[in-house]
Structure 1
Amino acid sequence: MEKLITLKKILNNIEQFEWSDALFLPADETWDLDTKGAIIDPDDVEDDSDEVPEFAKKNNLMYALDIQTIKGIIKNALVQKVECTDEDLIEAFLYYYDNDAFIVTK
């Protein structure tokens, strides 16, 4: 899927993406629900020396996390708080990205 979509839409529809895909987000901005990123197969490169797919390069996107990990983040958030808001989901996502660990809600 080579198009830019908001992180809010990605987090709320994570089950529609393939396990082999990854999330690419802007390298030069602070991420929030309105941040636009792309779901791309990270192996979809021009040649093996490339580490970033061409669409990501063109849009100044960097690899953030793989879809399987994001599915785990969302599942963990929903186990802890059944009625997760969009803000809860982005908080859980950013916490995992920064700490390589699931958020624990109080």
Structure 2
Amino acid sequence: MRIESNLNNVMIDVDSLEWNLYAYIDSSAAISMASLILIINDDEEDARDENDEPTYPPSKGYKSFLSVADLQSIKSNLAQQKSNYIDSELLEAVKYYYENDAFVQVNS
């Protein structure tokens, strides 16, 4: 299974995705809601590199990003802190988690 979309659409539908999938992001630009995202089931990817990572994502210009479980948790955590968050706050929460491996703290 391979799904290509943008970060905005992925985050809208993230709760309907299986938690065990993995997200890769376009490596050519800064992270934004328009960033291209590739969702894959790692277990279904047969072609592997020497580190046992799937070769398909980098061959298409994607780099490792976050798991779908991470994206689900980021959205859930933000919603618990601020139920009426806006897209820019969700983007900042995703970027913060990606860069710090921790949830952003929102002052609402």
TM over 0.5: yes
Identity value in percent = 24
Alignment match, 1:79: 80
TM-score normalised per structure 2: 0.87
Gaps of 5+ in 2: none
Q: Hey, what's the Cα distance between the residues in 2 that align with 1:99 and 1:67?
A: 17
- Give the superposition deviation at 1:43: 2.5
Alignment match, 1:25: 25
Q: Hey, what's the Cα distance between the residues in 2 that align with 1:68 and 1:37?
A: 15
Alignment match, 2:45: 45
Alignment match, 2:70: 69
Q: Which 4+ runs in 1 deviate beyond 4 A?
A: 47-50
- Give the superposition deviation at 1:13: 1.1
Q: Hey, what's the Cα distance between the residues in 2 that align with 1:53 and 1:15?
A: 27
Contact conserved, 2:47 with 2:54, CA < 8 A, in 1?
Answer: no
Q: Hey, what's the Cα distance between the residues in 2 that align with 1:19 and 1:53?
A: 21
In structure 2, give the amino acid aligned to 1:20. N
Q: Hey, what's the Cα distance between the residues in 2 that align with 1:53 and 1:81?
A: 38
Q: Hey, what's the Cα distance between the residues in 2 that align with 1:53 and 1:47?
A: 6
Q: Hey, what's the Cα distance between the residues in 2 that align with 1:95 and 1:9?
A: 19
Q: Hey, what's the Cα distance between the residues in 2 that align with 1:45 and 1:15?
A: 23
In structure 1, give the amino acid aligned to 2:98. Y
Gaps of 5+ in 1: none
Cα shift readout 1:42-95 (whole Å, capped 9, x = no counterpart): 2332245441252x1332111211111111110010011101111111110000
In structure 1, give the amino acid aligned to 2:30. T
Question: C-alpha root-mean-square deviation of aligned residues, in Å?
Answer: 1.6
Alignment match, 1:60: 61
Q: Hey, what's the Cα distance between the residues in 2 that align with 1:58 and 1:84?
A: 35
